[in-house]
Structure 1
């Protein structure tokens, strides 16, 4: 696991300008630092460089897999809910997208020895860190450890979604470029990872697994994939022809796909998500710029119970459904992020819109415990964290548009190239993981 903070993989927070006199004076150095706002500024000026501000993070690590992974998910574990115990441990499953189909892999990884950044913890919160952390400050921060099980996989992986069936049973659904949606049991991989020992990064190669189920009903590939968190074992998948298939788990653990698809979009479905509170409802977004709400209890064309056209200026790429309030957030190729109230969806007007990113939005996810907070990533190589409850402090005569950044923008994380997907850890408050063409970042900021 790589944890070197060089300028190619650091988080951009401050820019340090090189002094012409080469002085090491700390006061002079501090005066030469300023906050860099990538969506506002045209770029670095001559003599400037990015500098990672470690005080902005309670925890930060970078790591890589053998092949770049454009999609991953966080595996639910048995280490406890709502935890923050340094050093932390978490598990992920990821799918690669290599240049050659035969070079792809499914990776199940255990990330451990994740130590906090003491410089970011206030004095009154020192009890968050163990005695070992005090030693780390003197001896140098300990490297994190990645133990992984690697399964050979034929074909690039478009999307990965994991779920728990209760207890210690974890499965994963994979949308691949070979026009299949496959479901795998993760238990053998997790057991193999737990069997690895030592303080260095290790991996074990596994035999190719036989899927629990393969949905071959789609006639073209897709990216939209979602597990139903209320009706366990129910999976929705949608493709680039606008077709939606539902797969259900039956008695004995057998999965069966309904061969009659839902149809209604005029173009490819880019994302899909089940309601976090109603087991029969799901929502889709499409490159036809529309949002559709569906009721799986209804068959045929009547299953679409609400449509909002022209929601973005171009393709809608991603969505996330808030588990606390009837809100969804969407992101599009127009680089805009919009928040929609399901109670007012028929009015066909978003309740909030954020114009900060300069390139298409690639991923969105609401925070699992903070009602008004979500995270986004864009092709402009930025991860942003937002709180829609924040209001501007400017006077009545000053418009929000005149501010350098929206008041709802809480944090900007950078350092990765070609960002693809972001996720919050549901069991570790505030812990975020992101993936890109240049690897993964795992971090927790000081303000979330």
Structure 2
């Protein structure tokens, strides 16, 4: 069934001095300004104009930071339940800092609780001015469109810092044992950590508790120095507990196998198939022996650890560096890749024998793609972040439906004043963060995305994502 784009907006432009909200004038001397969607790289602010967030586009939107900027983070799976829909929410993270001096860095283990929000209707209800049959009674608040709401006050951030020498290039928590995390350092070391005590302390603490001023000195479980350069590629296997792969900027990938005594054996002989830096890698969501990697050489390589250290297959994916990849856990034949030229592609492994795996290619972003990830709840949905300061959400099942589009615009009376040339698959655009680096969907809270940038973290739940999520029991 064809669906149209709904509310793809984050920032509006308006004149200073106009009334907050729909841009209506505060007096007859100030002209009415119709708000519209801001397009980075296309629109320019005129004198007296400013950008404003449209809060009606979100079920929840919060910003926070933990001190120094974080290039990478990961959401830690918790025991609070899956498919959580009721506010307020609580989430756990691990993140590595990018401090000015190597000795100032740390890994933050933190908890954000009391994340409030509300569920909004995609099409606003008619007011008495729109419908003469209504009795004209006003609502008690501006939240009459909300289906649910929960939480009060600001979210509470609780933080525990673990000393880490050097900047953290990337960090990942193990899915099966989320207290175990692996970090890539700019010093060239890969370390595995056990954060059980910190996560337990956060879980047991009250909301007033931890301020994060203390830094804990803790030894990692493993400190691997076998890479010849720093790196960014790292991933835990979702199929084999404890299996890890790490790739560096010298084109080498090392395989980590867990042992019976809670440590790891790292194969000293690397997998080599790329001619330049390995930027990202992902284990198969279904096959225990397969993973893929991407590189500055523009290729994506498929590996099978049973057949030796040479690639099982390799193909040209982009004309520029391939920065990031994401293997679809709902549809394991699909892989997404993001490039340094701002494009991203969808690959179907079933077409590998035909020599062209690309089934979709998008040129929306103007600067390098920095992160890409499929939704854990919807096989056709993925999120992309870029150096153009945009986080976009895409639903590949969408097709343009002129009739439905016209009906939607009529219902909203043109309040959704979106550009005409947007791809029909573009579901949402989030802006406001500077130098976006990484994003993740929350696997246990449908519709929640967390992103990190130079100016901190955002937690966002777009109002139109709920319509694409499966209901309970599906």
Detail structure 1 runs of 4+ shifted over 4 Å in the superposition.
Answer: 19-23, 28-31, 118-127
- Residues in 2 aligned to 1:408 and 1:23: alpha-carbon distance in whole angstroms: 34
Equivalent-residue separation in structure 2 for 1:29 and 1:365 (angstroms): 43
1:416 maps onto 2:428 in alignment: no
Within-5 A mapping of 1:167-246: 170-199=179-208, 202-203=211-212, 205-246=214-255
2:449 alignment partner in structure 1: 432
Instruction: Tell me, yes or no, if the aligned pair for 1:196 and 1:202 is still in contact at 8 Å.
Output: no
**Deviation of residue 288 (structure 1)?**
0.3
Provide the aligned C-alpha RMSD in A: 2.5
Given that 1:364 and 1:377 are in contact with CA atoms closer than 8 Å, whether structure 2 keeps it comes out as yes
Shifted more, 322-331 versus 186-195: the winner is 186-195
Q: CA deviation at 1:253?
A: 1.5
Secondary structure at the counterpart of residue 383 of structure 1: strand
Query: Would you say the 8 A contact 2:341–2:367 is kept in 1?
Result: yes
Q: Is the 8 A contact 1:58 1:120 kept in 2?
A: no
Gaps of at least 5 residues in structure 2 are 1-8, 126-143, 404-418, 466-474
Instruction: Output the CA distance in 1 between the equivalents of 2:209 and 2:421.
Output: 44
Q: Does 1:146 align with 2:152?
A: no
Report how far residue 261 of structure 1 moved: 0.8
Counterpart in 2 of 1:129? 149
Q: Which has the higher contact order (CA 8 A, sep 6+)?
A: 2
Provide the C-alpha distance between the structure 2 equivalents of 1:421 and 1:29, rounded to a whole number of angstroms.
40
CA offset at residue 15 of structure 1?
A: 1.5
Whether 1:36 aligns to 2:38 is: yes
Look at both structures and tell me which one has the larger radius of gyration over its CA atoms: 2
Contact 2:326/2:336 (8 A) holds in 1: yes
Match of 2:319 among 306, 313, 318: 313
> Aligned to 1:163, which of 157, 174, 177?
174
d(CA) in 2 for partners of 1:165 and 1:339? 27
- Match of 2:191, SS? strand
Distance 2:229 2:91 in 1: 34
1:49–1:12: structure 2 CA closer, same or farther, 3 Å change rule? farther
Map 1:239-388 onto structure 2 (within 5 A): 239-301=248-310, 304-309=311-316, 311-325=317-331, 326-346=333-353, 347-388=355-396
Distance in 1 of aligned mates of 2:146 and 2:38: 29
CA contact (8 A) 2:118 2:147 kept: no
Deviation of the 1:405 alpha carbon: 1.2
- What is the alpha-carbon distance in structure 2 between the residues aligned to residue 341 and residue 55 of structure 1? 36
Contact kept in structure 1, 2:350 and 2:357, CA below 8 Å? no
| SS in structure 2 at match of 1:253 | coil
Relative distance call for 1:229 and 1:25 in structure 2 (3 A) is: farther
Report the counterpart of residue 26 of structure 2 in structure 1.
24
Cα shift at 1:244: 0.5
Q: Deviations over 1:303-327 (max 9, x none)?
A: x111102x21211100000012211
Looking at structure 2, the residues matched to 413 and 293 of structure 1 have their Cα atoms a distance apart, in angstroms, of 33
Q: Relative to structure 2, which stretch is displaced further, 206-215 or 360-369?
A: 206-215
Kindly tell me the number of residue pairs found equivalent between the two proteins.
417
- Distance (whole Å) between structure 2 residues aligned to residue 253 and residue 382 of structure 1: 41
